[in-house]
Amino acid sequence: MSKTPRIRIPPEVRKYVFQRDKYQCKSCGKTSIETDLTIDHIIPLARGGQNDISNLHTLCWICNQQKSDKSDHQFRRHFES
């Protein structure tokens, strides 16, 4: 499995993902009012994930740090919309 090169996520893609996810962390449910939100790869690039919009979701900074390079099913979401 080869690592996908990291590319900068364009501002319009970031905005789309935040809007799609209702400006809410997909793990703990915190909103942009409560915490800083980030865009995260569901399947990490280091594990063969792609830079495709379908592989991106919103996580708060803390959940993103805890997830690290785990895939989403290993991280186990606690919040479902």
Q: Which pLDDT score, from 0 to 100, does residue 4 have?
A: 75
Q: Which pLDDT score, from 0 to 100, does residue 25 have?
A: 95
Query: Tens-of-pLDDT digits for all 81 residues of the chain?
Result: 567 778 899 999 999 999 999 999 999 999 999 999 999 998 888 888 899 999 999 999 999 998 877 666 655 555 444
56, burial (CB in 10 Å: exposed 0-12, middle 13-18, buried 19+): buried
Q: Which pLDDT score, from 0 to 100, does residue 62 have?
A: 93
Q: Which pLDDT score, from 0 to 100, does residue 72 have?
A: 62
DSSP string, the chain: -PPPPP-PPPHHHHHHHHHHTTTB-TTT--BTTTS-EEEEESS-GGGT--S-GGGEEEEEHHHHHHHTT--HHHH--S---
Q: Which pLDDT score, from 0 to 100, does residue 3 have?
A: 73
